[in-house]
Structure 1
Amino acid sequence: MDKLNFLNVIAWIAVFVSLLLAFFLFTVKTQNKLANRLFAFFFILSALDLSGFFFYKFIEGQLNLEAFRWTTCLLGMPLFYLFVLAVCYSDFQLKWKHLWHVIPFLVVNLIFIPRFYAADELQKIQFFEVHNQMPEMLFFRVVVEVQYLFYIVSVYLILKKYKELYLENYARTGFSTYRWLFQMTTVFLIAHSIVVLKNLLRYTNFKETFIWANVLVGSIALLVTCWFIMKALNHPELFRGINSKLKLAKDILPETEEKQTSDTFENDVIKNQILSLREYMDQKEPFLDPSLTIQELSNQINMPVRELSVLINHHIDQHFFDFVNEYRIQKAMKILKDSSKSNLTVLEILYEVGFNSKSSFNTAFKKYTNLTPTAYRNS
């Protein structure tokens, strides 16, 4: 089997797997249907893009269709961007304003009209023969790279804010959604960088290298798609979002400062609030609930959630996530040192104190004690 046939086989498999994953996302039962559908359409577009490795065999007399297929890649990153929003924020909904994401796709297709879509068959064939040197194609490739850079930066900024909001408002210890989305975005960035380097070979004399680069890109696309399938099958809990109306403590703080009176009075009030909060944490142990949120804690102590957020994240200078985990670790330390509970395993202890993941428990425990739970018990 020569390299072109090998490339075709890889492309066919990658297209099939992408469509299979799209079908799975459309049909799987989940609370976040919008995120699944956006991701499914993303993989349909990926399949359409990957079909370019063999699609040329079927486009005789259908050159308009091939050019249109090229431009559909401009819809991929907007779909991924909207997918990330839908995963991160449980109340995210598509609105008419999101149609602006289609503008680059429409602009590029409009530019193709005069000298391609509206041209006769002979002109289209001539365009195809030298399309890499045509100004329309150069403009198209510049738009693709600028658009990709814009969306990849935007996704990283969304994830940064999501992480901050999560740490300030939630105490669930798995934190798998952020890690998964961050890994996925990084994989996309690396894969796209390889594609860019491959495309640069078009403009060199290394045609043999360009073919092998296509084989590499097709193989990477197949591996990445298989990785997504494994993630989707093994981690159905990944689609768990937060409320987009939440605010960071640094954004709430200016609003609360406007209501402050004298510094002495303010300091006394804050000290009393912190003391009451810590007494409640020690006596009632709300941190034993693995899904505790700052909203639930505010309801329990009858303090407005915005005020509680500023108290913990600003005045105590801890994220809510770390604040709660500190109490969980202290509880775990007491159990580990209690000889009457020496029969309890580390796994049983972590569930008892409010953790739901062994890896997150070990990480948090080592952060506070510089020891693993087992080493602490034996010390």
Structure 2
Amino acid sequence: MENRSAPQGPEGCLTVAIRIPVRIVVLVLVVPVRLVWDLLATGAKALRRTVLVPLWRALVVIPFGWSYRSVLTPLGHATAWLAALVGAGIAALGRGVARLAATLVVAPIGWLFRSVLTPLGRAVAWAVKTLGGGLAWVLRMLGAGLGRVLWAAFVWTPATLWRLLLQPLLHYGLHVPGTWLYRHVLTPLGHATALLGKAVGAGLLAVARGLGALVVVLLVVPVVWLYRHVLTPLGRALVVVVREVGQAVGHAWRIAGYVSRAVGRGFKWLGWNLVGRPVRRVYVVLLTPAGHWVRDAVLRPAGRAALVVGRAVGEAVRGAGRAAREALASARESVRTARQEAWRALVGGPPRERAGHRARTLGSTTTASGAVPAPEISLRETEG
């Protein structure tokens, strides 16, 4: 079965009239813009791939990676090791201080609390409890007497005065006249005021209804007619125009994309056949054999010669180092011998040198500074 699009609603004459001209005009205007846009996008991608990414790697990624591996990582390891060492030292110092404080402060304070302060506190508590009991009995007696006096002065006297004098005076002086005034004066006056308010409210409501009808006739009806017969058709026409222009721009942009890709493929084909293919041919036919010849005939022999020369130079440097060490040892031995001869000429005996500066041999001894080393005896002489 053929794939058919969903049925659309009936289109008006305005839609059919503006669709084709608008799409033609938009296509003519959008194709150059799409070509320029694709050209700029391709140039930006090439610039990013060939310039910005290598520059970013050369200026940021490689230096930061090297600094991280060669500087920051060893520095961090050294800092961590130093911090661990300092932490271990601080922990050991803290344990020593805690043990010293427990021995010199906590133990004496605990003994003082158990042996001195606890018995003293118990004695003080017993004394306070005894004195507090006596004082509480005295205060209870005083409170009972004072309470009776205060009740007579502040409770019984005001209650008697209220019951015998103030209550009758308030009842017959205020309550009875106020009740008569409310019933015979204020209630009729309030009813009359309520009736007057209802009449005034009905009049105001009638006036408001008349004003509302006038506003509807003079303002609402014209606005509704203008909205229904002018603004609604104009808005629908504007919506149709905007929708058609938007769809035309979308179709033109897609068609311009196809045109741009076709133009790009054409330029790519021309560039490959005019530039790429000859360059590749020159690279494969000329430059690759020449490079292989330079690598096999020049670079590799030069590398082997450089390796041989480097090895010879290394051997010469190591031989010179050994000769220098031997000459330095011989000079040191000559200086030591001259110092011993000078000491023997001045004092008459061998110089007093520390045993740590002399090389230990099988015949050396450390019993006396002036003792003569014993001769070495081989196993053959002892067996013979």
TM norm structure 2: 0.17
| Structure with greater proportional helix content | 2
Kindly name which structure, 1 or 2, has the bigger radius of gyration based on alpha carbons: 2
Structure of higher RCO (CA pairs closer than 8 Å, 6+ residues apart): 2
TM norm structure 1: 0.17
